[in-house]
Amino acid sequence: MSASDKDLMTARLFFNAAFPVMQVVLDDDPAMKAKFRDVRAVVQIGAKDPDVEGGLLACHLVFDNGKITVNQGPAEKPAITLGFDSVARMNTMFRGGAALPSIKGLSKIGLLLKVFSLLMSLMIMMPKSRPKDPAKQRLKVKMSLYMITRALSTYNKLGNPDMAEWCRRQPDRIYQFIVDKPGSAEPDIACYLRVKAGRSKSGHGVYTRRSPFVLFHFFSVAGTLKVLLKDVGFVEGVEQGCVEIVGSPEYAMYLNDYMAVLQGMLT
């Protein structure tokens, strides 16, 4: 059965925006870093769909000694293939639901278990995940902000009409997100979305070649979590000192609305 446009968009957002964030886990989680330190392999993930070119919507993960590259499309000779009979079922697993793939490459059980543990690490970004450990809280915030800035750019590149029109109307603008680090003038976490005449790009760190058009300044990891988990509304978060908006409040709210749409699709 053909996937809906929304399911196809959701799957592509996972492939392009959520999966690359696994690098944060490999860099910042000591146990996961050790697990993948010497892994060199290619793993394909995909779902059948008659309306997609080649009948398969897929990406493949290239592991190279602690680094991961996410390539769109099927791989030539993957060590392991995780396959689904529909895009909807694949999205269900990505959101943490009850859907399991067919597996080719079961003989490589060690690699398979590592890959599943890495995929499941993405669940920390789900709304139901409320880690108590400070390191896990920071990991959730960092992964979530990196994912949402990538998703915003991807949403435009994949041709969502509203997002594409919003980007088209803007000159060169930077939407910067930072989370303060206690006792330091440098931010603990930083990422951005750049929009220029219909084009968009996300990046990590502080964009230094242009002042931000809108700055989302979070004062702590705990305050960021309150906003991300919707324990406080965005406006309420400003009032409570969780976040400060510097720049155009109108465009900040537009961007927040798109972020809410994307979080709804991905979680």
pLDDT at 234 over 90: no
The C-alpha torsion from 205 through 210 and 213 to 215, rounded to 10°, is 30
| Residue pLDDT, tens place only, 170-215 | 999 999 999 999 889 999 999 999 999 999 999 999 999 999 999 9
Q: Write down the architecture of domain 5-125 according to CATH.
A: 2-Layer Sandwich (3.30)
Q: Is 77 left (phi over 0), alpha (psi -120 to 50) or beta?
A: beta
What is the CB neighbour count within 10 angstroms for residue 132? Answer: 6
Rounded CA gap, 180 and 214, in Å? Answer: 16
In which residue are the tokens 């060590």 written?
A: 79
**What confidence tens digit (pLDDT) does each residue in 6-18 have?**
999 999 999 999 9
**For 138, phi and psi rounded to 5 degrees?**
-65, -40
What residue spans define the domains of the chain? 5-125, 134-266
The answer, yes or no, to whether residue 1 has pLDDT greater than 80, is: no
CA atoms of 231 and 64, how far apart (whole Å): 39
What is the average pLDDT across 57-69?
98
Which pTM does this prediction carry?
0.95
What is residue 46's three-state secondary structure? strand
Q: How confident is the model at residue 2 (pLDDT cuts 50, 70, 90)?
A: confident
DSSP state of 124: G
Beta partners for residue 46, in sequence order: 58, 83
**What CATH code would you report for 134-266?**
3.30.1050.10
